[in-house]
Amino acid sequence: MTLRLPAWLWLLPFAIVFCAFQLAPMAWVAISAFNVNGDWGLGHFQEIAQSAFFRQAIWKSLTISLVSSAMGLIIATVTCHALMRSGPRLRRAMIAFTNMTSNFAGVPLAFAFIILLGANGVLTLALQQLGIIEDVRLYSTGGLIVIYTWFQIPLGILLLFPAFSGLKAEWRDAAHLLGAGRIAYWQRIGLPVLWPALAGTFTVLFANAMGAYATVYALVNTSYNLMTIRIANLVAGDLFLEPNLASALALVLVVLLVLVTLVQQWLLRRSAQHGSR
């Protein structure tokens, strides 16, 4: 090598591409959200706040995300606990399978659920024949919560399992020898130790659900009113495009995610201070 370039030049290509395709779009969203017909202002946010349509989108996004994250977290917690008490072979198989299903998301997932639970879905027809149900409404809030929960479970298991395997058998032994029963062990040691992982996993699941777009889009196109659907429709829809309004709504979405993360951090800090009881 005859040419001796300063070492930091090797960082330049990375910096340029990262700025152009990660930072610049973020900055554009943050700035254009306040651009109201060439002037600066909060007009777009007022419009969002005053529109029942946008308020409904935010409300439905929050509902579906919170419910599916909570259910996903609960099921993942129970599964991880059961996995720790199962044989090593079953444990390995289940983790591998979870890994597989965590890849199954977006459009293929929507299609699989249409085949399973759509109006003429395999399970729908089977359940109708058995007389258990009359009708499955996959395209309703309830239906979406089922699909969302389904894709939250594998993610939850993958995120929580390491924390569960970090629970040492010796802690349980020590607690029992000091007079604690099962409930006291979980209440005072098991759950407090798992708590940061549980809170962190919930935050990731929530963000995952809030940002989800492909599944709903493939399922109902733009007819279900969610934040991501609205944002996409404002920049890439068929009729009127309002990119600045889209930016404002996108900013609301990001702020909601940041808010949940801050609450999680605050709860963790608080429990680190008082949680030693």
Partner 1 sequence: MAHADTMPAHKSPTAASLSATFNPYSWVVGGVFAVLALPLVATLGYALATRWGATLTPDGLTLAWFIELWTTPRFLAAFARSLFIAVGALALSLALVLPVALLAHTRYPRLDRWMNTLILMPFAVPPVVSSVGLLQLYAGGPLALVGTPWILIPTYFTIVLPFMYRAIANSLRAVDVQSLMDAAQLLGAGPVKAFFLVVLPNLRGGVQIAVFLSFSFLVGEFVFANMLVGTRFETLQVYLNNMRGASGHFTSALVITLFVFTLILTWLGNRQAEHTITEAAR
Partner 2 sequence: MMAATTRPPSSATTPKASQAAYRQQPAIASGATAASASRHTDHASSGNAISLKGLAKRFGDTDVFANIDADIAHGEFITLLGPSGCGKSTLLRAIAGLTSLNAGQILVGDTDITHLPPQRRGVGMVFQHYALFPNMKVADNVAFGLRMQKVPSDERARRVDEVLRLVEMQDQAHKFPHQLSGGQCQRVALARSLVVEPRVLLMDEPLSALDARIRKHLRDQIREIQTSLGLTTLFVTHDQEEAMLMSDRVFLMHQGRILQQDSAEAIYTRPRDENAAGFMGHYCLLDAVEAAPLLGYRSKAGRVALRPEALYLSVAGMPLGGEHPERVGPGVHGVVRRHRLLGNIVRYDIDCAGVSLTVDTLNRSARTLLPQGQQVTVHVDLDEVQELDT
Q: How far is CA 98 from the centre of its chain?
A: 16
By the 8 A CB rule, do 218 and 113 touch? no
Shortest distance (Å) from residue 256 CB to partner 1: 11
Closest CB to partner 1 among residues 145, 153: 153
Task: Using alpha carbons, select from 91, 102, 105, 206 the residue that is nearest to residue 158.
Answer: 102
Q: Which two tokens stand for residue 199?
A: 């809170």
| Interaction partner, residue 42 (partner 2, partner 1, none; CB < 5-8 Å by kind) | none
| Interaction partner, residue 14 (partner 2, partner 1, none; CB < 5-8 Å by kind) | partner 1
Which of the ranges 25-33, 97-105, 113-121, 189-197 carries the binding residues for partner 2, by CB under 8 A?
Answer: 189-197
What does the DSSP assignment read for 70-124? HHHHHHHHHHHHHHHTS-HHHHHHHHHHHHHHHT--HHHHHHHHHHHHSTT-HHH
Q: Which residues contact 113 (CB under 8 A, 6 or more apart)?
A: 121, 138, 146, 147, 150, 219
Site string for partner 2, 157-186 (x = CB under 8 A): -----------x-xx-xxxxxxxxx--x--
Residue type, 238: D
Which of the ranges 20-28, 108-116, 188-196, 259-267 carries the binding residues for partner 2, by CB under 8 A?
Answer: 188-196
Q: Is 275 in the site for partner 2 (CB under 8 A)?
A: yes
Closest CB to partner 1 among residues 58, 210: 210
Closest CB to partner 2 among residues 17, 191: 191
Task: Using alpha carbons, select from 105, 74, 61, 57 the residue that is nearest to residue 202.
Answer: 74
Shortest distance (Å) from residue 85 CB to partner 2: 16
Footprint of partner 2 (CB under 8 A): 168, 170-171, 173-181, 184, 188-189, 192-193, 195, 275-277
